[in-house]
Amino acid sequence: MNKDLERLISLHDLDVMISDLQNKDIQKQEKKLGLSPAAAVEELKKMRGELALLIARRSRDMYDQLASHYGNAVVPVIHERCSGCFTQLPTAFVASPDRNKQVETCPACGRFIYWCD
Amino acid sequence: MKRPVFSDWNIKSVNRKAAIAELLKLFPFQSNTQDLLLTALETREQAEPTIVHKGIAMPHCRSILVDDFMIAIGKSEKGIPWPEEKVKVIILFITPVKPSGPDEHMKLIRHLAKLLRMDGAEKLLSADSPIEAASILKFTLQESKQNE
């Protein structure tokens, strides 16, 4: 898999983690388990900053724009459709031997797409 | 909450990252996906070790790489440095990122918190088999080589 694509997926998962730990209901349950979600969020934000710097600037800026617009900037391809906007992807995309070997975006919504296992 | 769970009742790894990787291998993912999930779980651990009871760790996250709940329980007789405390039982889970939000993730955490706060943690530490551990957590053991 393309390294930048891997980092974009990791960035997305990290953003989800930060968002979850800022969710009051999840915070309450994590505290019941003896964990400290607020402290973890601060550390995760630092790690997010470091990870983001490893991503090519163009992709990073696009990620931020997409995340701000849609809430999710990276989505899997499911049944040959972008799972963000559900648009059927062009045959050239689906048949390409270079799946996940480069950073691809959905031609309709612009989200980053990847093929999962 | 009857969820299928994978298990490894004889974890051989001697450090946290390797132990998490060992449990992730139970899931039917390619190595690339396993690596990305390991990165996510290990990042969470670096931010704050998820020790939820003396001897029990609970690495967990939501990820776009899974489309269903992935749960694994593991045990190490010798204990694994986490890294400050030794952990003997690991409850690992990854939940999918859904448009509906983190409700299911939260419900699973609440379910486990409730069980562990009662007498589940002590029972889990003394469980002799993965079947018994799964039963304590009210999960259903999934068929896999490690469970046989």
The answer to whether residues B90 and B107 touch, using CB atoms and an 8 Å cutoff, is no
CATH of the domain at B122: 3.40.930.10
Chain A neighbors of B24, CB-CB under 8 A: none
Nearest CA in chain B to A8: B36
Domain membership of residue B127 as a residue range: 4-147
pLDDT of residue B46: 96
The pLDDT of residue B85 is: 94
Residue-wise pLDDT for A86-110, tens only, equals: 999 998 888 877 788 999 999 999 9
pLDDT digits (tens, 9 = 90+) for A11-26: 999 999 999 999 999 9
Cβ–Cβ below 8 Å for A29 and B113: yes
Decide: B125 and B55 in contact? Cβ < 8 Å: yes
Number of domains chain B contains: 1
pLDDT tens-digit map of B6-44: 999 999 999 999 999 999 999 999 888 999 999 999 999
pLDDT at B31 (0 to 100) = 87
Q: What is the pLDDT of residue A30?
A: 93
- Give CA–CA dist B37/A13, Å, rounded: 9
- Average the pLDDT over A24-37 and give the result: 93
Domain that holds residue A30: 3-115
Q: Which of B64, B102, B105 sits opposite A74 (nearest CB)?
A: B64
Task: Suggest the residue from B39, B64, B94, B115 to mutate for an interface test with chain A (most A CBs closer than 10 A).
Answer: B64
Cβ of B53 and A12 within 8 Å?
Answer: no
- The answer, yes or no, to whether ipTM is higher than 0.95 is no
Q: What is the DSSP string of chain B?
A: ---EEEEESS----SHHHHHHHHHTTSS--HHHHHHHHHHHHHHHHHS--EEETTEE--EEEETT-SS-EEEEEEEEEEEE-SSSEEEEEEEEEEE--TT-SHHHHHHHHHHHHHIIIIIHHHHHT-SSHHHHHHHTT-EEPP-GGG-
A6 at the B interface (CB within 8 A)? yes
Asked if A10 lies within 8 A of B113 by C-beta distance, the reply is no
User: What pLDDT is recorded for position B145?
Assistant: 46
Query: Do the bridges between strand A81-82 and strand A74-78 make them parallel or antiparallel, or are there none, so unpaired?
Result: antiparallel
How many C-beta neighbours within 10 Å does residue B15 have?
Answer: 12
* Of the partner residues A9, A17, A36, the one whose CB lies closest to the CB of residue B65: A9
pLDDT band of residue A117 (cuts 50, 70, 90) is: low
Low-confidence ranges of chain B (pLDDT < 70): 1, 143-148
Q: Tell me, what's the pLDDT at A96?
A: 79
What residues of chain B lie within 8 A of the CB of A9, using their CB?
36, 64-65
d(CA B89, CA B81): 12
CATH number (domain holding residue A7): 1.10.287.1490
CB contact under 8 A, A26 and B43: no
Q: How many structural domains is chain A composed of?
A: 1
CB atoms under 10 Å from CB of A24, counted, come to 8
